[in-house]
Chain A
Amino acid sequence: MLALLLAWIVVAAVIKNSYFIHMLFMATTYALLACALNIVVGITGLANMSQAAFFGIGAYTAALLATKFGAPFYINIIAAAVVSMLFGLAVGAPTLRLKGFYLSLVTIGFAQVLRIIEINWVSLTNGPMGITAIPGVSIGRYLFSKKAYIFYGLVVLLIILYVTKRLMASKIGRALSAIKNDEVAAKSLGINITYYKVLAFAMSSFFAGMAGSIYAQYTTFVSPDSFVQNDSTTLLCMVILGGSGTLFGPIFGAIVLIFVPEILRFADMYRLIFVGVVMIVGILAKEGQWFAHVQKFFKDRLTSLIRVKSGNREGAV
């Protein structure tokens, strides 16, 4: 995992081509969103189909703060996170008693309502035209280059991973996974199911809001078309493909589903078929746990390599 991160940083540092920079930025952003979504989908086992909507709320919040008040980036990102989380609470609290696909339907509905608001509340959102000329991130006199946003995103990604890892090792994480595994058992142990579901939802939308803020300042432009249902679905696919509930899996899901369609761009519309096949094969491959196996594969190679080396010295394998 560390190797991947290093590779990511190195690639980000050396690439010059603005198209590659853009792709890598998008991969970072989607990795972020997928990891955030993983808290709800992977760890708690809830079907949230509106992650892109929270991403959008964050982006709009940051866009408005930056254009109207010239707020600095750290205010933007925190405000974006908080506003998105408040929406998460508002949607989650009344609906998280719903099960399975009822919940998916409600979240889809929420995303649609939000999109209609984005389009029609012209005085706030500038309607379908979107908000343009959003100032980029600047620290002192240094204005972020496009490349710098990749690192900005990576820092936030690391924060999400850290938070997720810590929580998974705590009472909170255990409660969330108990809910996913067996809600009735979780209930019988005194776990307040609704509270923890809402908490997971709030955390996920909090981080999605952060991603939105980074994205808005990177592209300098947000419009209702930037955050559509398709994006939510793609994010869900990333989590599931990478191995839902694993810490790093969603990152791999994001990489695959960002780059594969790009690589296949020559195939025009047929590439979507390939993406579908990748999804199906990937999920069938190890019931979504393929990444864990790949990781284990490399780890085993690595340890046997090290063992052989030290074995030469000590005369034992």
Chain B
Amino acid sequence: MEELLKVENICVSFGGLQALSNVSLSVDKGEIYALIGPNGAGKTTLFNVISGFLAPTSGKVFYNGREVQGLPPHKLTPIGISRTFQNIRLLPNVTVLDNVRLGHHIRLKQNMADALFNSRRFREEEEKSIEDAREILRFVGMEKYENEFARNLPYGHQRKVEIARTIATNAELLLFDEPCAGMNSAEKVGLSELILEINKELKRTVFLIEHDMRFVMKLSEEITVLNQGQCIAYGTPEEIQEDPDVIEAYLGVGRKGGQE
């Protein structure tokens, strides 16, 4: 399998706190990869590094063989990295459709003159963008809500719209930070099906963070487990389930978490 993302000896420290130490992993093209670990393990921090929100203290990130650590998000999105956030970040006072259309930002060619004179290119591009956004909304099953303000949607729907927005960027690597946090089990099943479809039908590589072990076991092909900023295990779901370190560090916590 061809390697899409490679993280090499990433270290991040916030003042005295070592949030990540020597984290390495590699995500192949076309797979679903999961990052798990207890609260404060450094999962979101790793996503922040990969998506350009945080420059690592040391270490390297390769995307498609190119060294990209420290590049800002507006350089990474166009080359194919897009993410969602642990605490959903939709624009609350903007419609669902326009939220998804924001994902088109990087590929719209229109310039100021096109906009001012309502040029043919402008009109065609806008129409196409609306079309495409609708299609993505249909794909995630949110087409009914295209004219709703994002703030009026229930949590689970907002998640899907945020995922739709990452799809709209055309990025090949999608980073989902705890996509099913706060969902009930029926919603979780729906979401895992959606993620599978995104992976199989749209041929996107999915790298996700998850707390819910069962969710991850069904979905992902490879798993890395983080604990206190360090990789403590790596393997297939079956291997991870049996790893004594993981059981000690994570599963105990996961079960407690599952009771909430």
Contact = CB atoms under 8 A, between A and B. Distances in A.
Interface of A: 162-163, 166-167, 169-175, 177-178, 181-182, 184-193
A172 B110 CA distance: 9
B106 A163 contact: no
A298 to B, nearest CB: 24
Given A170-B110, A177-B91, A190-B76, 19 more contacts: A170-B112, A171-B105, A171-B108, A171-B115, A172-B115, A174-B101, A174-B102, A178-B91, A181-B91, A182-B89, A184-B53, A185-B102, A186-B102, A187-B73, A187-B74, A188-B51, A189-B82, A189-B103, A189-B105
B69 interface: no
B91 A185 contact: yes
B86 to A, nearest CB: 12
Contacts of B108: 171
Contacts of A191: 74, 102, 105
Contacts of B94: 177-178, 181
A195 B85 CA distance: 23
B15 to A, nearest CB: 21
A184 B89 contact: yes
B83 interface: yes
A172 B90 CA distance: 18
B102 A189 contact: yes
B90 A185 contact: yes
A187 B106 CA distance: 11
Given A163-B116, A174-B102, A184-B85, A189 B169 contact: yes
Contacts of B98: 174
Interface of B: 51, 53, 72-74, 76-78, 82-83, 85, 89-94, 98, 101-106, 108, 110, 112, 114-116, 118, 122, 126, 165, 169
B121 to A, nearest CB: 11
B118 A166 contact: yes
Contacts of A162: 116
A183 to B, nearest CB: 10
User: Interface centre among A181, A188, A193, by most B CB within 10 Å?
Assistant: A188
Nearest to A174: B102
Contacts of A186: 102
A167 B105 CA distance: 14
A212 B94 CA distance: 35
A162 B122 CA distance: 16
Interface residue SS majority, chain B: helix
Contacts of A187: 53, 72-74
A193 B53 CA distance: 13
A181 B93 CA distance: 8
A174 B114 CA distance: 15
Contacts of B101: 174
12 contacts: A170-B122, A171-B115, A175-B105, A181-B93, A182-B89, A182-B91, A184-B89, A187-B74, A188-B89, A189-B77, A189-B82, A190-B73
Given A170-B122, A174-B105, A178-B91, A188 B112 contact: no
A46 to B, nearest CB: 17
A172 B83 contact: no
Contacts of B110: 170-171
Contacts of A175: 105
Listed from nearest, the 8 A-B pairs whose CB atoms lie closest are A190-B77, A170-B115, A190-B106, A185-B89, A181-B91, A192-B74, A171-B108, A187-B73
Contact of B92 (A170, A181, A184, A188): A181
A185 B77 CA distance: 12
Given A184-B85, A188-B89, A169 B77 contact: no
Nearest to B74: A192
B152 to A, nearest CB: 15
Chain A CB within 10 Å, residue with most, of B53, B72, B89 = B89
A186 to B, nearest CB: 8
Contacts of B77: 188-190
B23 to A, nearest CB: 21
Contact of A190 (B90, B105, B112, B126): B105
Nearest to A191: B105
Contacts of B74: 187, 190-193
A173 B169 CA distance: 18
Contacts of B115: 166-167, 169-173
A71 B112 CA distance: 29
Contacts of A177: 91, 94
A169 B89 CA distance: 22
Task: Give the interface centre of A166, A172, A190 by most chain B CB atoms within 10 Å.
Answer: A190
Contacts of B165: 189
A191 B74 CA distance: 6
